[in-house]
Structure 1
Amino acid sequence: MPLRLVSVLTDELCALSCVREARQRSLFISLVCDDLGIQWIEQGIAVRAEMATFVNQALQHRGSEGYRAIVECVGALEGRESGESLDRLVRRAVYGVESRGLPELPGVFAAETQRRAWELLTLGPVPRPVLHSVLAGELRIALPDAEGPVGLFAHLAEQNAQPDGLPPAVVLVEVVAALGSSQAAALQAWSEEWAEAAELTGALRERRARIACGAVPDSTVPRALVVMVDPAHDGTDRIYVRHWVNAAAGFWQPRAFEPQETTLDRLAPAVLRAVRHGEAQWAGAAEDSPVHVEFVLPHSLLNHDVARLKIAADAFEPLPLHLRFYIHLRSLDRMRVRDARQLSLWRERWRTLQEAPAAETYRWSRTTDPLTQWQEKLARNPRVTGVILQHPAERGHGLEALAAALTEGVGLVVWDRRPDTPQSVELLQLLLGHSPGQLPFKVHQLRVQAETEEVGRLLVGRNIAFLWDDPNRLVDCEEMPA
């Protein structure tokens, strides 16, 4: 039984006189027990603990019958309006819906069919971020933010059928089952019964197979906040900041939020706004995997220190962003290129990187490596998957080499943002000796360690730029209209 439902019901019941007063409480418990045909022996403990235990037992009896009995007994003792008010409060707090029953759609779902689906969804919930990610990928329609399975069913029951004829609410039931609900078998039986009556068994079978593939998590996909910074290019210092939140690890379904116009020196407040949107989306996750903040930047800003942007947390001093999140860079210019050959190079080198025990790297120094010859060597060797720049990514220093590496499909580039730091190269080489899957963590670890260093090699952690650009995780990066 969902703990949230027990908690909210207990809160509301303990505020009622039929529970606060001992005699009325005994009568209330007796009425509920008689209605459900169960027995209850008073525990002799604190009222709240007693009611939490009783509510938990009642709710486990025949699914929604226990809930119905509690609400109706409140109505009998406190008045009908009190019972209905309790029902509305609980539905809003637990499920995000206020209606007494789910909307009836004649010809789509009979009332009993809806009630059974609601009961199964209540008894077998799944993590909200994962549910939203997989369901959004299946339905390709906007979903309300705060809804759990029952609230989503109420919302989707009013939506038009999918192209294959299946109502979105049926797809929801199938997704919840595929994500490992404790009621998976019963949910699938519910779908099959409905599909048979609607003569859509074939469509259901095909959709179920597709959902099964889409419900398998990809271990390379993190919870993420993607922040794109796009200069206005109008002679002013204006920039547009757009951001997307990927709510669930394992599933790439980034959700876009409204862009913001600001300036580069006001980037931190814009990033804080994006972080808060992310935190709202990540709430409710069963896992606590790290969050990656990915800055999609034009070439001109790739040397900008975004990892140490200081963002304020309530009642605390602003802290560098990299202390809370894994920070890395992505190339806006390359993401906007529509060249099929370049995209193919990018994907192929990235696949090679992910399959290797460690990156095969090339270094670049403007004092020893003529850029044209260096790029030609890189183009001839598709096994090279990482580049170490000996100079910062600024025009006339390392930026041209970085652009060349991006053109050749390299997705992993590191450098020290400070000028004249050849001593950093050896440490960066050691860093890239770790397995690719560990690199975001290792960079994060180096950055955190560097915050307590006054001198020494680890200081590079305060200045490291880490481009980690996955071609399989793109966002809509079209230019903002003028």
Structure 2
Amino acid sequence: MSGGFDRVLAALEGIGVEPTAREAAEALWLATHIAGSASTTAQETVRAQSAGKDASARDRKRREARSANPGKPATLHAPTVAAATAESGTVTTRAIAVRVADVPALPHGLELMRALRPLKRKVPSRHRVILDETATAERSAEERLFLPATRPEPERWLSLALVVETGPTMTVWHPLVNELTVLLQRTGAFRDIRLWHLHSTPDGASGLHPRAIPTSALHSLREILDPTGRQAVWCVSDCVSALWHDGRADRLLETWGQDGPLAIIQPLPQRLWRRTGLRPEPVRLQTASPAAPNSRLRTTSSDSSALLRKPAAGIPVPVLELDRSWLSGWTRLVTATAPGGVPAVITTTDTLDGAATASGDDTISPTPAPTDPLSLVRAFRAHASAQAYRLAGCLASLPLTLPVMRLVQRVMLPASGSAHLAEVLLSGLVHHIPSDSANPVYDFAEGVREVLLSTLRRSDSRRVYDEVSAYLAAHAGDARDTQALAVLPSGQGEVALTMPSRPFAEITMRGDSRTSYPEPLAEPHTSREDLPSTSAGPESPPAPNERRPERVRHGLIADMVDALQLSAVVTEPGVRDIWCDMLANELGRRVEPYGGKHLRGWLLEVVRTCTQVPGDLWCLPRALDYIEPSSQASTALGPLVEEWEAVEFFNGVDLRPLRPALTTVGAPQSEALARRVSRQRFQELPRWCTTGWETFLHLAQMNHAEGEPPPTMAFLDLAAEQLTEHGQLEDAETLRRWSRTQARAMNLTQVLAQWHPPTAPVRSEAAVLTIQFEPDRVDENRYYLSHWRRSEGPHSVPGETVHVYRDELPGAVGQVVEETEERWADLRQPVVLEFMLPHALMNEPVEWWLKEPDSAYPTPLVMDYPVVLRSLERLRRASWHRPWRNRWRQLTDDYQNSRAYWSRPGANDISPFHLERELKEDSSVVCLILSQPPSDPSGRGGRELLAGLRAGVPAMIWHRHDCTNPAFREAVGEIVQDGNLGSLVDRITRLRREALMVGPEEWEGHIGRHLAVLFDDPDHMVGPPGLPQV
């Protein structure tokens, strides 16, 4: 080797590199280790080859297959139970194992690290010392003694025990826990981090083990305790398992909270905590010293919390989201750097006798679970977040494994998080399938996948597939990866795959290693055998007087350019460049910038570029909305994009001859027909569907169940029936003739003839807009504003939830009302406003908040709507629901024998005990008149309200300022004297309108201005049900 190395040195000197002797020795040392590693790998390869020649043969065949098919796409399948052995007798194709990119489960790690930075303080170690050089030198000089002087080694202040529950639902959070562990190690905030897994035994006991699957006896729960108080404990759990419902969790939290800081890391967002086994309570936490154990923390409850529940008797345990603001608050608490305390959400360990701790106090009362797929999906939509519902639809066309679901989330809903995925997995729509796969395997309940697919556009289904494929190609070779099975065009491979198996992406293979990786596709692929077809059938020749497909498409492109030119965004140079960049980001490919010569020609090319891939046209209005929301241009583009997709569905057929007939079908009628042809699978159309023409175009891209006609074809038949009923015989015949022609071309004549539309549902008497204010449990001055719309059927359609400050609530409500009115522009029913209020806001005059507050002449809501209040606390307390439902039946079924109860003022009565007793003794009481408003400083009104809620009284009335006012008592007396309390809301609405008649100048003196009515219907629940216990 000496001579060889001399030659290497000579070669280095020849190119101007002259290493020192040390550098040469290090290079030689490194070369020996590299050689050793290569030798070891070679030896292992030899052993593997000698162990089985079949494996070598398979590798050779795999390389030959790849080299024989360069650049051809291979479909990717999840490595689930579908991977079988050749002996099973069900194999129809073969695949190879590949590594593809995975997505992070904790994308905001840097922010979490910053939140934990204050914990990096160091303290002298009690066990380890280091040489004190200064003291040693001074001792040597002064005492002539050459003895080393030492000092305690500085070390991190706290260590951390990370305890992860191993319940069935926690498999969703394994990637998050793994990334959290790595992040904590990189942060350097803790002296030591030890990962433990919390296991439950069949006999109900709990124990710890370092491994997720125990290989030895479980350790005691006390093993992680540090008597010195210098260890924090984080328990990571979604709190859904039986452990959190039967009292065992209280006992272990009690054990861990005696010696040091303890917190629960809850991966679900706080709005879902009340659906778990937790009993979350917003408080302010204070501590007297750093790293104080939870048993020494002091809690201060808000006034409303103190009224609704007794002070916590057990140990308070903070519950934290994995978010910077939550971790920052906990850090300030542990370091004792918040003199006034920190706002927090806690659960307490006050139930230690093994009895059920979650008796339903903070969850919605159980209702019969729907069994048919459509009811399951509609109930999920009514209760789930908008992103979770959208995610469920995107997942419907793909296999359900965690890596695939996270990929779909990343590319389709990048703003969503693990909590939204958990909403889907814990919704009852999917169930776990036992398998030997490293990743959990799920599937939708029977029929649910088809219903969810019918809520998606065909282009969206295809876009999911293409976006996942593009992401995998762009991130090929990433360090974070997962396994998949690739089916090559040749059908060769070493893994047997049972069919049918749903592919989730498509790649081109490059390389001949065992874990080949994808390279970008040369061009978008639009033919997917396993995805729904985008077009209706072969292209048919145009009928007389109809435009040819090329002219139809060119005309639509020109119309879209006309719509774009309505916007200043594409005409002003600076803004146009921003829009062009946003459009390129949406498309995922370059858009040629404007060259400065011919604007319309450039726009024609931009639109033509967007038409090349199905679904990409929607990027035009979406990018425009980012800069100019709800502009005339984006509103005009929506129907044109819908028409383009409808033309593509019918293979270029000219649709304009249908427009005159369909335009005569109004929005309410067309929306009702659309519900019928979709079998009630959706409840609202886009805002631009103002006539039957836009509805017809919108339905053309909707998926449909096997054996049923496309919704757009069925819609034409129902529209023709309606036009016939209105005497428009010629228009009806035009629709029927066109439908028959297309049915023959698409081979759907028999399917359409055998299809029978479902009966139209009976409309409810009034449409209801429910607006809910839910307090933020960390920031006491902020609220989550949610709303639901219900115009037909029992299910409500949720709107977007916004996070606003308290003083922003009136303006946010005005915006919600305005948006709802736009959606219900042609609604013939009256509209009722319901406000679901927490106790702290129960006395807010919400009915007098302004509609169109930005207008020069805004008007109060009560001018346009009957307004009633509802109790958020009662909705959330299932233990109050039985008497509530019973009294509601009394009100609706036997209103003539129902009566009101006047609460009597009493200076010495500081408890609601006697009032509640009297109410519960008389089941005919359905209305309570308070003696003081709920916001009365003495607290009496709040206690009376509480007594009424607990007794189940559905209706309550009070004066917002003075319940002893003679005018108030006279007016309410007239309302309730005849016992017809079913018309309570109508009578109070008339009094409010009388106040409106006297005008703003004098209405302060009118009793209608100050009346508040709580009218709680238990049959109209808008909150989410509890998560299933496992």
RMSD of Structure 2 on Structure 1 (CA): 4.9
Partner residue, 1:442: 987
Are positions 1:393 and 2:939 aligned together?
A: no
Partner of 2:592: none
Is the 8 Å Cα contact of residues 915 and 947 (structure 2) preserved in structure 1? no
Matching residue of 1:414? 957
Question: In 1, Cα distance between the equivalents of 2:657 and 2:807?
Answer: 55
| Aligned-partner Cα distance in 1 for 2:885–2:721 | 29
Match of 1:352 in 2: 890
Provide the C-alpha distance between the structure 2 equivalents of 1:434 and 1:458, rounded to a whole number of angstroms.
27
Residues 332 and 477 in structure 1, CA contact (< 8 A), matched pair in contact too: no
Q: Which residue of structure 2 lines up, in the alignment, with residue 30 of structure 1?
A: none
Match status 1:234 vs 2:778: yes
Whole-Å separation in 2 of the counterparts to 1:442 and 1:182: 39
| Letter aligned with residue 390 of structure 1 | S
Cα deviation digits, residues 188-239 of structure 1 (max 9, x gap): 999x98798455877x44xx34x33x2x1222x33x3322111112153112
1:435 & 1:134 partners in 2: Cα distance?
Answer: 37
CA distance in 1, matches of 2:1006, 2:988: 12
SS in 2 for 1:138: coil
1:364 to 896, 903, 912: 903
- In structure 2, relative to structure 1, the CA distance for the partners of 1:167 and 1:408 (3 Å cut) is farther
Aligned mate of 1:281, from 820, 823, 839: 823
Structure 1 CA distance, aligned partners of 2:728 and 2:951?
47
1:300 aligns with 840
Q: Which amino acid aligns with 1:398?
A: G
Match of 2:496 in 1: none
> How far does the alpha carbon of each residue in 1:248-304 deviate from its partner, in whole angstroms, 9 at most, with x for none?
4x555543332222222222211121122122112123x3x5432221111221112
| Separation of aligned partners in 2, 1:345 and 1:441 | 25
- The aligned counterpart of 2:916 is 375
Q: 1:81 to 1:116 in 2, by over 3 A?
A: closer
CA positional deviation for 1:428: 1.3
Paired residue for 2:693? 150
Structure 2 counterparts to residues 166-177 of structure 1, below 5 A: 167-169=710-712, 172=715
Aligned to 1:460: 1007
Structure 2 counterpart of 1:320, one-letter code: P
What CA distance in whole angstroms lies between the structure 1 residues aligned with 2:881 and 2:720? 36
Which one of 763, 768, 776 corresponds to residue 217 of structure 1? 763
Quick check: 1:329–1:466 contact (8 Å CA) kept in 2?
A: yes
TM superposition shift of 1:421: 1.9
Larger Rg: 2
Q: Which residue of 2 aligns with 1:65?
A: none
1:429 matches 2:969: no
Cα gap change, 1:445 to 1:366, in 2 (>3 Å): same
Shift in CA distance, 466/390, structure 1 to aligned 2, threshold 3 Å: same
Does structure 2 conserve the Cα–Cα contact (< 8 Å) formed by 1:294 and 1:330? yes
Whose relative contact order is higher, 1 or 2, with alpha carbons under 8 Å and at least 6 apart? 2
Give the aligned partner of residue 39 of structure 1.
Answer: none
Corresponding position of 2:861: 321
Deviations 1:378-403 (A, max 9, x none): 33444332222121123721222323
Measured after TM superposition, the shift of residue 122 of structure 1 is 4.5
Shift in Å, 1:307: 1.9
1:337 aligns with 2:877: yes
Question: 2: CA distance between counterparts of 1:196 and 1:133?
Answer: 19
- Give yes or no for the alignment of 1:405 onto 2:948: yes
Maintained 8 Å contact 2:674/2:715 = no
SS class of match (1:225):
strand
Change (3 A) 1:183 1:364: farther
User: Hey, what's the Cα distance between the residues in 2 that align with 1:178 and 1:473?
Assistant: 34
TM-superposed deviation, 1:139: 0.8
> d(CA) in 2 for partners of 1:383 and 1:173?
53
Say if 1:229 and 1:297, in contact at 8 Å, map to a contact too.
Answer: yes
Mapped to 2, the partners of 1:365 and 1:168 lie a distance apart of: 61
Unaligned runs of 5+ in 1: 1-67
The partner residue of 1:267 within 798, 801, 809 is 809
User: Where does residue 21 of structure 1 map in the other structure?
Assistant: none
After TM superposition, list the pairs within 5 Å mapping 1:34-113 onto structure 2.
96-97=639-640, 99=643, 102-103=646-647, 105=649
Higher strand share: 2
Tell whether the 8 Å contact from 1:416 to 1:463 is kept in structure 2 after alignment: yes
State TM-score, norm by structure 2.
Answer: 0.32
- Structure-2 separation of matches of 1:429 and 1:457: 20
- Cα distance in 2 between the residues matched to 1:163 and 1:458: 65
Deviation at 1:465, TM superposition (A): 1.0
SS at match of 1:394: coil
Q: Secondary structure at the match of 1:103?
A: helix
| 1:138 paired residue among 660, 676, 680 | 680
- Equivalent-residue separation in structure 2 for 1:367 and 1:382 (angstroms): 23
**Structure 1 residues 126 and 263, CA, compared in 2 at 3 Å: closer, same or farther?**
closer
Q: Which runs of 5+ in 2 are unaligned?
A: 1-543, 564-634
Q: Residues of 2 paired with 1:420 and 1:304: CA distance?
A: 15
Matches within 5 A, 1:115-134: 121-122=662-663, 124-125=665-666, 127=668, 131=672, 134=675
Please say if residues 176 and 184 of structure 1, whose CA atoms lie closer than 8 Å, have aligned partners that are also in contact: no
Cα contact 2:933–2:941 (8 A) shared by 1:
yes
Distance 2:921 2:720 in 1: 49
Cα pair 1:123 1:183 within 8 Å, conserved: no
1:355 Cα deviation after fit:
4.0
Tell me how far apart the structure 1 counterparts of residues 545 and 979 of structure 2 sit (CA, whole Å). Answer: 59
Q: Give 1:419 deviation, angstroms.
A: 3.6
Offset, 1:123: 5.0
Task: Give the direction of change, closer, same or farther, for the CA distance of 1:468–1:172 in structure 2 (3 Å limit).
Answer: farther
1:97–1:85 distance in 2 versus 1, CA, 3 Å: closer
In the superposition, the TM-score normalised over structure 1's length comes to 0.63
Residue-by-residue CA offset, 1:1-40 (whole Å, 9 max, x unaligned): xxxxxxxxxxxxxxxxxxxxxxxxxxxxxxxxxxxxxxxx
- Which is further off, 391-400 or 326-335? 391-400
- The aligned amino acid for 1:361 is A
Aligned residues: percent identity? 24
Question: 1:314–1:300: structure 2 CA closer, same or farther, 3 Å change rule?
Answer: closer
Contact in 2 for aligned 1:129/1:282 (Cα 8 Å): no
Change over 3 Å in CA distance of 1:175–1:352 after alignment to 2:
farther
Q: Distance in 2 between matches of 1:217 and 1:81?
A: 40
